[in-house]
Amino acid sequence: MVEYPNLKELYNEIMRCYRCGLCRVSCPVFKYSGTESWNARGRLILLRALSDNNLHVSDSLIDRIYSCSLCRECEVLCPPGVNVSGIIKVAREELVKNGLAPPEEQREMQKNILQAGNILGKSIQPLNTLLGPTIDSLPDSSPNLVYSGCVLLYSYTQIAQATLGNIKNAKYDYTVLKEGEKCCGGFLKMIGYREAFDSYSRIQLELFTKREINQLITVCPMCYSTFKHDYPQKLEVKHTVLLYNELLDEGKIVFNRPLNAKVAFHDSCHLGRYSGIFEEPRKLIENVPGIKLVELSKSKKSSNCCGGTIRVPYAQIRSKMSEWIIEDASQVGAEYLVTACPSCFHNLYSSSIMMDCNVKIITLEELVGYATSQLPKIPLYK
Ligand code: SF4
Ligand code: SF4
Rounded Cα–Cα distance for residues 85 and 70 (Å)? 5
- Among 27, 73, 22, CA closest to 267: 73
pLDDT at 257: 97
Ligand 2 pocket (Cβ < 6 Å) reads 26-29, 40, 43, 68-74, 84-85
Q: What is the separation of C-alpha 63 from the centre of its chain, rounded to a whole number of angstroms? A: 22
Based on the fold, state whether residues 126 and 234 are members of the same structural domain: yes
- CATH classification at residue 20: 1.10.1060.10
381 is a domain residue: no
Phi and psi for 146 in degrees, rounded to 5? -85, 125
Q: Is residue 379 part of a domain?
A: no
pLDDT digits (tens, 9 = 90+) for 124-137: 999 999 999 999 99
Indicate which ligand has the atom closest to the C-alpha of 81: 1
Prior bond to 313 cis, omega within 30? yes
Which among 101, 127, 159 is the end of a domain? 101
Radius of gyration for the alpha carbons in the chain, expressed in angstroms and rounded: 21
Q: Who contacts 203 (Cβ-Cβ below 8 Å, separation ≥6)?
A: none
Task: Judge whether residue 232 has pLDDT over 60.
Answer: yes
How many domains are there within the chain? Answer: 3
Same domain, 274 and 353: yes
What are the pLDDT digits (tens) for 36-85? 999 999 999 999 999 999 999 999 999 999 999 999 999 999 999 999 99
Based on the fold, state whether residues 135 and 232 are members of the same structural domain.
yes
Q: Looking at per-residue confidence, does 23 or 232 come out higher? A: 23
Q: Distance from the CA of 9 to the center of ligand 1, in angstroms?
A: 18
Helices (H), 16-70: 28-33, 40-51, 59-66
The pLDDT value recorded for residue 235 is: 82
Q: Are residues 128 and 241 in the same domain?
A: yes
Count CA atoms within 13 Å of residue 255 on its CB side: 22
Same domain, 95 and 156: no
Distance separating alpha carbons of residues 246 and 260, to the nearest angstrom: 24
Q: Mutate which of 82, 83, 85 to test ligand 1's pocket (most atoms within 8 Å of Cβ)?
A: 82
pTM of the full predicted structure? 0.95
With respect to residue 376, please indicate whether it lies within any of the assigned structural domains.
no
Residue nearest to atom 6 of ligand 1 (CA): 23
Give me the CATH number covering residue 176.
3.40.50
Does the pLDDT of residue 3 top 80, yes or no? no
Q: Which of 3, 11, 22, 13 is nearest to 79 (CA)?
A: 22
Q: Is 377 contained in some domain?
A: no
SS3 state of residue 175: strand
Tell me whether residue 292 is in a domain: yes
Residue 82 belongs to a domain:
yes
Residues 215 and 197 in one domain: yes
Query: Is pLDDT above 70 for 5?
Result: no
Together in a domain, 271 and 287 = yes
First to last CA, the chain: 36
Centroid of ligand 2 to alpha carbon of 313 (angstroms): 16
Cα–Cα nearest to 331, from 306, 302, 300, 294: 294
Residues 266 and 194 in one domain: no
Assess whether 76 and 184 both reside in one domain: no
CA of 201 to the centre of ligand 2 (A): 26
**Mean pLDDT confidence for 143-157:** 95
Instruction: List, for residues 196-209, the tens digit of each pLDDT value.
Output: 999 999 999 999 99
Per-position b or e across 29-52, b if 16+ CB within 10 A of its CB? bbbbbeebbbbbbbbbbbbeebbe
| Ligand 1 centroid to residue 39 C-alpha, Å | 10
Note whether 118 and 177 are same-domain residues: yes
Give the pLDDT of residue 65. 96
Same domain, 260 and 236: no
Contact 338, 299 (CB under 8 A): no
Residue 1 predicted with pLDDT over 90 = no
Q: Which of 101, 135, 156 is the last residue of a domain?
A: 101
Percent of the chain with pLDDT over 90: 88
d(CA 145, CA 226): 16
CA atoms within 13 A on the CB side of 92: 27
pLDDT tens, 84-127? 999 999 999 999 999 999 999 899 999 999 999 998 888 899 99
Ligand 1 centroid vs 82 CA: distance in angstroms?
A: 7
Provide the pLDDT for residue 128.
Answer: 96
Residue 209 region by backbone torsions, left for phi larger than 0, else alpha for psi between -120 and 50, else beta: alpha
140 domain residue, yes or no: yes
Ligand 1 pocket, CB under 6 A: 17-23, 40-41, 44, 74, 77-80, 82, 84
Residue 252 pLDDT grade (very low, low, confident, very high; cuts 50, 70, 90): very high
Contact 180, 118 (CB under 8 A): no
CATH number for the domain harbouring residue 263: 3.40.50.11810
Question: For 287-341, where are the alpha helices, taking DSSP H only?
Answer: 315-331
Collect all residues with Cβ–Cβ distance below 8 Å to 140 and sequence separation of at least 6.
175, 178
pLDDT of residue 26: 96
Residue 102: is the preceding peptide bond cis (ω within 30°)?
A: yes
Mean pLDDT estimate for the chain? 94
Would residue 309 be called left, alpha or beta, if left means φ above 0 and alpha means ψ between -120 and 50 degrees? alpha
Q: Is residue 378 part of a domain?
A: no
- What is the domain extent for residue 92? 7-101
Q: What is d(CA 136, CA 140) in angstroms, rounded to the nearest whole number? A: 9
